[in-house]
Amino acid sequence: MPVYTVHAPVADSADLAATDKFAFVRDGFHFWAAVASVFWLAWHRLWLALIGWIVLTFVVDFGLAKLGVGAGAIFSVDLVLALLMGFEAASLQRWTLSRRKWRQLDVVVADDEEAAERRFFERWTARHRGVVNDQRSIDRGAPPPTRNVPGQPFSKAPPLPQGGIIGLFPEPGGSR
């Protein structure tokens, strides 16, 4: 199932009236970014990435031609670069949004963008109205407890089973 990241402009992220500005970026392979990279980058207004893509392909093609590499090998390298663009297109979108001072609000798993929007806004409006279910009420900001800190729930060493060691070695320090 596709994963979407939700982004909003920093100044408008808490404003309900600015929800039309939220951007949903699907993670995964983007076919049209691989097939028509220049047009895809221009369509999504990724101008810096577009300039970088044009320079990269020109430098690679020109360099390989100067080295005397055949046309088939140059085409193969261009094909690999196109596949790389298809796989990294979402990362370029997120990078451009972060450069434009947008922040990531959430990660949503849904079948398509419409379902992702619906799922995100259900959670987002519930959170802003003060309705929180049990799963989101858990504080995930603190680090997990460790065994070396006195007073933590896991401060004691775990008990060994009656047979000694669990695993591939029957006794501690035994031969391997």
Sorted by sequence, the CB contacts under 8 Å of residue 12 that are 6+ apart come out as 18, 21
The mean pLDDT value for 70-81 works out to: 95
What's residue 161's pLDDT? 60
Q: CA angle 110-111-112, nearest 5°?
A: 95
Confidence of residue 173 (pLDDT cuts 50, 70, 90): low
Query: Is the model more confident about 70 or about 15?
Result: 70
Tokens of 70: 């055949």
Least confident of 6-20, 34-48, 57-71, 160-174: 160-174
What's residue 138's pLDDT? 43
Convert 105-132 to b/e letters by CB count within 10 Å (16 or more is b).
bbebebeeeeebbebbeebbeeeeeeee
What's residue 13's pLDDT? 44
The mean pLDDT value for 63-68 works out to: 94
Query: Is the model more confident about 169 or about 102?
Result: 102
The mean pLDDT value for 25-29 works out to: 93
Tell me how far apart the alpha carbons of residues 59 and 106 are, in angstroms, rounded to a whole number: 38
pTM for this structure?
0.65
Query: Is the model more confident about 104 or about 48?
Result: 48
Which among 75-89, 100-114, 137-151 has the top mean pLDDT?
Answer: 75-89
Beta bridge partners of 4: 26, 108
Query: Is the model more confident about 42 or about 125?
Result: 42
